[in-house]
Amino acid sequence: MPHLGEDDLIARFFAPLAGEGGLGLKDDAALIAGEPGCDLVVTCDALVAGVHFFADDPADAIAAKALRVNLSDLAAKGARCKGFVLALALPPDLRTEAWLGAFARGLGDDIASYACPLLGGDTVSTPGPLTISVTAFGAVLAGRMVPRTGARPGDLIYVSGTIGDAALGLQLRLGKVIAGQGAEHLLARYLRPQPRNALAAALLDHASAAMDVSDGLAGDLAKMMRVSGASAEVEVASVPFSPAARACVAADRGALKCALTGGDDYEILATIPPQNASTFEARAADAGVAVTRIGHVVRGDETPVFRDASGAPLTFMRASFSHF
């Protein structure tokens, strides 16, 4: 295609996606109108090709993942999506009509699905891998954001959806596990996270702490307990697995640890005071999001314990995924 300057590229592919506060992407800045009685929740996640996704993943799936991992953080905080800005460092070989068109289409679909408009950003060239930083904004009632630090002994621990699918999907993608049936489900769960924004309002009203599970359930629970000054007991038999993940675990015991410590779930991990539990479950059901109680918060500063059906603790070589 003819050489597209940065302004042309923005006008052609991104301006059509801009919400009102994006000012048509014609200004240096975007505007988020004040909302009386609300705080703004801000989250930022960066993704690098070859590190967080495969460089040859479909462009629309890459766009969706970059946005959704941020939407997942907003969901965990009980926030309603307000919009996002996008910083795109683009290698020369992706500056094509086909790639940019598909990327913008993927972004546009999610902007519509999650009512989260594009507000602005920056597009630069890079000699390195595609690098995407999204900063997303959400609104919560003032002083009410669900913290990561609020878990208290006695609270019940819940997760949304199913755990481990994406980590097993990644192993499949790398050719490391043969899952038998259900491979498509696992691959899709790795490729396209499903953020649980429908659960945000129920979390806001009922959770003492919440975060999204992005670096593995075991590691993320450990982080939450550490910053909350508590510990936890989890019954592995209660952790929700998809049929495809169950098939993996049945075939290969190592798959269980992969599922519990692998990343990219983008499910919600929340602690719910016992008196809120039945209402939280009802609200989640109304929102169409499955939630499952997997354990409870206890006093102490030990790493959370995951027990099998016999009550024996599992040990993990590494509790969570780290990019370093």
Q: Minimal distance in Å, beta carbon 120 to its own copies?
A: 6
Residues 54-93 that bind its own copies (CB under 8 A): 73-74, 76-77, 79, 85-89
Number of residues that bind its own copies (CB under 8 A): 72
**Judged by CB under 8 A, which stretch of 120-128, 252-260, 281-289, 303-311 contacts its own copies?**
120-128
User: Which CB atom, from 28 or from 309, has the smaller least distance to its own copies?
Assistant: 28
Among 15, 19, 39, 233, binds its own copies (CB under 8 A): 39
Closest separation in Å from C-beta 201 to its own copies? 16
**DSSP reduced 3-state for 162:** coil
Instruction: Using CB under 8 A, pick the residue from 15, 48, 102, 188 that binds its own copies.
Output: 48
Which of residues 27 and 184 has its CB atom nearest to its own copies in the complex? 27
Q: Which of 19, 147, 273, 313 binds its own copies (CB under 8 A)?
A: 147
Using CB under 8 A, which of 31, 98, 178, 251 touches its own copies? 31
Using the rule CB under 8 A, is 18 a contact of its own copies?
no
Residues 224-253 that bind its own copies (CB under 8 A): 227
Helix or strand (DSSP H, E) at 294: strand 291-298
Candidate residues 17, 18, 41, 291; the one interacting with its own copies per rule CB under 8 A: 41
- Comparing CB distances to its own copies, the nearer of 165 and 215 is 215
Task: Candidates 19, 129, 273, 313: give the one binding its own copies (CB under 8 A).
Answer: 129
Position 124 contacts its own copies (CB under 8 A): yes
Q: How far apart are CA 84 and CA 40, in angstroms?
A: 12
Q: What angle do CA 194, 195, 200 make, to 5 degrees?
A: 145
Q: Which amino acid, residue 218? A: A
CA–CA gap between residue 10 and residue 13 (Å, rounded): 6
Q: Mark residue 164 as left, alpha or beta (left: phi above 0; alpha: psi -120 to 50; beta: remaining).
A: left
Residue closer to its own copies, measured from CB, 48 or 198:
48
- How many Cα atoms sit within 13 Å of 287 on the Cβ side? 21
Q: Is 324 in the site for its own copies (CB under 8 A)?
A: yes
Among 137, 190, 241, 266, binds its own copies (CB under 8 A): 137
Dump strand ranges (E) for 180-266.
209-213, 231-235
Q: How far is the CB of 80 from its own copies (least distance, A)?
A: 13
Q: Is 225 exposed, middle or buried (0-12, 13-18, 19+ CB in 10 A)?
A: buried
Shortest distance, position 185 Cβ to its own copies, whole Å: 26
Neighbour tally for 99: CB within 10 Å: 17
Interface of this chain with its own copies, residues 264 to 303, rule: CB under 8 A: none
Q: Are 136 and 195 in contact (CB under 8 A)?
A: no
End-to-end CA distance of the chain: 38
User: Is the CB of 9 or the CB of 198 nearer to its own copies?
Assistant: 9
Subset of 150-189 contacting its own copies (CB under 8 A): none
Angle at 291 between CA 277 and CA 297, to 5 degrees: 55
Contacting its own copies (CB under 8 A), which of 46, 102, 290, 314? Answer: 46
- The smaller minimum CB distance to its own copies, of residues 263 and 295, is found at 263
The Cα–Cα gap between 26 and 178 comes to 50
| Binding status of residue 322 toward its own copies by CB under 8 A | yes
Residue 115, token pair as written in the block:
């009512």
Burial of 323 (0-12, 13-18, 19+ CB in 10 A): exposed
Q: Which two tokens stand for residue 45?
A: 């996640």
